[in-house]
Amino acid sequence: MEEQTAPTGYLLEGAYMQTKHSSEQITGLYVAQITEDGELAVLSGSNQYSVSDKVIRGGVKIQKRDLETKGTKAQGGATLKDTAFTITTLNDNPVLVNGKLYNKNEVVMTIYKGVDGIATTDADTLPYGKYRIKESKAPQGYLTTSATSREFEITANGKIVDLTDEENSVYNQIKRGDIEGIKIGAGTHERLANVPFKITSKTTGESHIIAIDNNGLF
C-alpha cells in the first residue's frame, strides 16, 4: 500500500502510515497480504492503519503606506512604524496556528510593522486556506478610518503571500488640522491687515506663506 495523491491542502512528501497503538512511522511502500475469506477480503495481521499527511503552510507580508503620497515614508512628525495587523481565518474547518486551534472568523494572530516598513509572518505559520488581514492599530499621526482590509489565500508550501506592492498595500490618511489667529499692533491692539506670515515645518523644512485678511485674521 502507498499513498499516491495527497488531499487538497496537504503534502504527499513526508506522509507516513501508522498502525493502531504503535508509534512506528511506516514510510514509502508497505507490503501486506490480502486473502479471501468468503465474501470478505482480509488484511494479514488484522491491524488498523492510519495515514498522516502534513498540511501545506505559508505566510503573508504587507506594506503600510501614506494615503496622500502613496509612499512608504511618513509625513511630518508622524510614523508608520509599529502598525498592528490582525489575521483572521475565513475557513470552514479549524486551523492550527502556533499550537492552537482557531475556528472560522477568529483572529489567529497579530503582526506588527517593523523598522523595514513591512509586517510579516514566518513562511510556515498559516495552514492552507483563506484569510483576512486588517489593521487593528494605526501608527502615530494617522487615522484608522481610511485603512481597508485585504483577503488572501495560502496555496503553496513555504511561500509568503506578498501584499507589499501599491495595489495591495494598506493606506492611512495622515491627521491634518488648521491654525487661526489675529494680528494686532503692539500697544494699540488694533487689528492689522495684509501682513504675510511664513509657516515652516520643523520636520520637513517645507514652508508656506499665508496672508492676513482685512480684519486681521488668518
State the pLDDT at residue 186.
77
The residue-averaged pLDDT of 87-91 equals: 97
Structural domains of the chain, with CATH: 10-54 (no CATH), 56-172 (2.60.40.10), 178-218 (no CATH)
Please give the pLDDT value at position 125: 96
Burial class from Cβ neighbours inside 10 Å (0-12, 13-18, 19+) for residue 135 reads buried
**pLDDT digits 0-9 by tens, 136-171:** 887 778 887 766 789 999 999 999 999 999 999 888
DSSP label of 93: S
Give pLDDT, residue 196: 80
Q: From residue 176, how far is each of 3, 68, 142, 186 by CA, in Å? A: 61, 12, 9, 32
Question: Average pLDDT, stretch 14-22?
Answer: 57
Averaged confidence pLDDT in the chain: 78
- Using CA atoms in the order 82, 72, 107, 14, what is the torsion angle rounded to 10 degrees? -110
Q: What is the pLDDT of residue 50?
A: 52
Phi/psi for 85 (5° steps) reads -125, 135
- The pTM (predicted TM-score) of the whole model is 0.66
pLDDT of residue 19: 55
Tens of pLDDT, residue by residue over 170-213, are: 888 877 777 777 777 777 777 777 778 787 766 567 787 877 77
